[in-house]
Amino acid sequence: ATPAAPVVKEPEPVPPYVEAALKRKRIPYWAMSALAFLPLWGILYAQTLSAPPVTEATQLIAGAEVYTGNGCSGCHGPTGGGGSGRPFADCAVVKTFPYIENQLEFVKLGSAGFTGQPYGDPNREGGAHIGGDFGQMPAFGATLTDAELLEVVRHEREVLSGEVVPEDQIDTGSPTEERLWPNGEPMLDSAGVLIDPEGEPLFDDAGKLANPEASISAGGEPAVCE
């Protein structure tokens, strides 16, 4: 008898996803080594990027932040128009404190440091201001650093009240455009401590002015407004 012919199986159809994979262009072998180094190149490139320079805020810009961030605007108004605290606008604060060191002392000690006593200019137009006769001004000596104290006082005087500071009393060459004494000496030492025109601490241990006439002794004139 003649043997039966072997049955030839037809090839199974290739699934579409397999066929697509076979037809897809493969990455050349030479490119594989280059791709392996991509993460390393990314790290090296990132290290070559320099961070943008950090600019230091000027004393006046920093002073505005201190003013809004420590409740000053809540009592004296965002623009110095007053409220539960005295107004600063229209030269009001400069009339009270013709010399900046007296305002620095008052903000440091608060009205409690002058209860029943005149502060600032005793010959102020409209009468001297008495500690405690217009609400209670908090003491900020324990809350603010000396640098912040100067910053916020400058904001109140120069921005809100309109004090015109002589050009030679602003260090325009420094990043923070620091306020200087009338004799050109800095008001802050390298440690950020308030000092008088002779380089001595501006305040004594009780927080009072050690040299109440610092500006006058340095040849300064009473402040004026625009």
pLDDT digits (tens, 9 = 90+) for 87-133: 999 999 999 999 999 999 999 999 999 999 999 999 999 999 999 99
Residues in a beta bridge with 194: 188
Please tell me the predicted confidence (pLDDT) of residue 49.
62
pLDDT for position 226: 85
E strand or H helix at 219, and its extent?
Answer: none
Residue 41 has a pLDDT of: 60
Provide the CATH number for the domain around residue 174.
1.10.760.10
- Asked, for residue 38, whether it belongs to a domain, the answer is no
pLDDT given for residue 58 in this prediction: 97
Query: Which spans in the chain are helix H?
Result: 16-23, 29-36, 38-48, 59-69, 72-76, 92-96, 100-109, 146-154, 214-217
Q: Is residue 127, in this structure, part of any structural domain at all?
A: yes
Q: What is the pLDDT of residue 115?
A: 96
Segments in the chain below pLDDT 70: 1-12, 14-42, 44-55
Q: Residue 55 has what pLDDT?
A: 61
Query: Does 154 fall in a domain?
Result: yes
3-state DSSP assignment of residue 17: helix
Structural domain including 84 reads 59-225
Residue 25 lies in a domain: no
Look at the chain and report how many structural domains it folds into: 1
**Is 65 a domain residue?**
yes
Query: Does residue 171 lie within any of the structural domains?
Result: yes
Domain assignment present for 216: yes
Q: Is 4 domain-assigned? A: no
